[in-house]
Structure 1
Amino acid sequence: MTLAHTPAGAASAAPAPARVALARTWMLRSPLAGGLDTAADVLVLDLEDGLPAGRKAEGRDRVRRAAAESPVWLRISAAGTRDGEDDLALGRELDDRLAGVVLAMCAGPDDVAHVAGSLPEGVPVVAMIESAAALLRAPAIAAHPATRRLAFGTGDFRRDTGMGADRLALSWPRAQLVVASAAAGIAGPIDGPCGPADQARDAAVHAVAMGFTGTLALHDAAVAGAHAGFTPAPDEVERARALLGETPDGPVDGSYAPTLARARALVERAEALAAL
């Protein structure tokens, strides 16, 4: 399921908004790297960190050529910066060949409003939370109508806050993004890059436990492990179906309804992913 690059003749059963909400892996790739093939759910051509300052124009030309083949997702530079405005101009030029944008260094809901107002109507925005100030504004960012997902820019967030990479250290900011997303009624957030192939599944399992439903990725070799971690396992689905099919033969306690709700959500997610 590569949202912007569906193979010729293939079709998805889910409408585009549902696919954005369900996407597990978001591959960040420099336009200079060449090649649009990936096993990731979404390929994002990275105009921010994926391009050296002296090669921005060249990278945008590569994007134009890629968009001629299929609509593209772009990671764009921070709103209000010179590079960000140039990226938005490219997005307007692409028009219906622009599938969506990942907004780097989103500082607040005004940034989302500026980006959404500068692009063709309805272009989905994934807002990257990469600083302490942005984290505190995450509920308002998530609540903006153009925001479809939040993404955690772990590298820049750690640089801004001085936090280490330890999971315990990052558990509080991760939880804040999950809560903000849930309160806004949007899909669970996208975690920072899942790391190399041998760490991807473990990272995804941890992210799922935190409430995340996707991850950024930098290497195609990591995609299979990430997908395995973010996709409900067959035995989990079987147990959930069995629970939903049972009729209690005695009294139940206050945990019963929440347990059923979690089982139903797991089955629905598994079925939705299988239909993509």
Structure 2
Amino acid sequence: MSLTHLSAGAASAVPAPARVDVARTWLLRSPLAAGGDTAADVLVLDLEDGLPAGRKAEGRERARRAAEASPAWLRISAAGTRDGEADLALCRELGDRLAGVVLAMCAGPADVAHVAASLPTGIPIVAMIESAAALLSAPAIAAHPATRRLAFGTGDFRRDTGMSAERIALAWPRAQLVVASAAAGIPGPIDGPCGQIEQAQDAAEHAAAMGFTGTLALRDAAIPGAHAGFTPTAAEVEAARAALAAVPDGPVDGSYAPTLARARALVSRAEALATL
């Protein structure tokens, strides 16, 4: 079941805020596209890149109608732009039919503050880091109280910096987002779109190894592989539980305590994901 459907009021053992924190796959879909079902944890109606300039108004109207059936996540255009302000007007109109916002082209914490002030209280914001300047501001963006997660807009970031798509080239910016998220006490960031469908699991496993906990996706066919890459395996969970059960008698030394902490975190994440 997708997080989109759970947000509409279906029963779940995990409260809605926690589901936002553990969601692995965030599918970006144009409101102009037919169909609303998806295996992704979160379906995001994309009002930014998902709509051509001449069809923005039509796309917002379709998103409004979609939210009548189930609370909707919206990807909105950059704060302070004409399209961004029109998108925020729609968000205010939706009220409790708005599940959350993915903020494109977030430049700094002031953008998060501007969007948060325009939304109903408590609406989660995922801030997209898509430029060199935004990356340098990532710690402050992550630390803003309204920011629930960071997301890496790899395409625009590469356009801004000239970096290639090679993993070694993007390792440093990815690490910066992971560190910024950890320092702010929010869940690990969401990676850029996972690329070719046949590479989705490998891309997700690489991102998970870097400390990411989710990915954007552009096609439904990539979701199973991405889920597999971000979900602890049965063997990993068994090993973590065995480590927790084998705590040595007496004081735990400094080298063992981090192992136990990682094991607890892995088991906790696996249990949360099992409820989605």
Q: Normalized against structure 2, the TM-score is what?
A: 0.97
For each residue in 1:182-231, what CA deviation from the matched residue of structure 2 results, as whole angstroms up to 9, or x when unmatched? 01000000000011221000000000100000000001000000000100
CA distance in 1, matches of 2:21, 2:237: 20
- The 8 Å contact of residues 163 and 169 in structure 2, kept in 1 or not, is answered as yes
Per the alignment, residue 91 of structure 2 pairs with 91
List structure 1 segments (4+ residues) > 3 angstroms apart after TM superposition: 6-10, 249-254
Is 2:203 aligned against 1:200? Answer: no
In the alignment, structure 1 residue 28 sits paired with structure 2 residue 28: yes
Aligned to 1:75: 75
CA distance in 1, matches of 2:251, 2:84: 59
Counterpart position of 1:239: 239
Segments of 5+ residues of structure 2 without an aligned counterpart are: none
> In structure 2, what residue type is equivalent to 1:24?
R
Q: 1:76 to 1:32 in 2, by over 3 A?
A: same
Contact 1:5 1:72 in 2 (8 A): no
Cα separation, partners in 2 of 1:112 and 1:235, compared to 1, 3 Å: same
Any conservation in 2 of the 1:196–1:221 contact (CA below 8 Å)?
no
Alignment partner of 1:122 is 2:122: yes
- Tell me the equivalent position of 1:269: 269
Q: Deviations over 1:35-70 (max 9, x none)?
A: 110000000000000000000011011111101100
- How far apart are residue 4 of structure 1 and its match? 2.5
Aligned residues: 276
The 3 A distance-change label for structure 1 pair 194 and 250 is same
Whether the 8 Å CA contact 1:72–1:99 is kept in 2: the answer is yes
How far off its partner does 1:7 sit? 9.3
| AA aligned opposite 1:274 | A
Between 1:239-248 and 1:19-28, the stretch displaced more is 239-248
**Alpha-carbon distance between aligned partners in 2 of 1:8 and 1:160, rounded to the nearest angstrom:** 38
How many Å apart are 1:11 and its aligned residue?
1.6
Superposition deviation, residue 121 in structure 1 = 1.1
Q: Per-residue CA shift, 1:91-120, capped at 9, x if unaligned?
A: 000111000000000000000000000111
Tell whether the 8 Å contact from 1:106 to 1:130 is kept in structure 2 after alignment. yes
CA displacement 1:102-144 (0-9 Å, x = unmatched): 0000000000000000111111100000000000000000000
* Partners of 2:49 and 2:8 in 1: CA distance: 30
Partner of 2:209: 209
User: Aligned partners of 1:249 and 1:118: how far apart in 2?
Assistant: 54
CA distance in 1, matches of 2:41, 2:7: 12
Contact 2:8 2:70 in 1 (8 A): no
Structure 1 unaligned residues grouped into runs of 5+: none
One-letter amino acid matched to 1:193: P
Name the CA distance, whole Å, in 2 between partners of 1:30 and 1:157: 21
2:7/2:71 contact within 8 Å kept: no
SS in 2 for 1:4: helix
Cα RMSD, aligned residues only: 1.6
Deviation of the 1:275 alpha carbon? 2.2
Kept in 2, the 8 Å contact 1:5–1:36? The answer is no
Q: Is the Cα contact below 8 Å between 2:7 and 2:16 reproduced in 1?
A: no
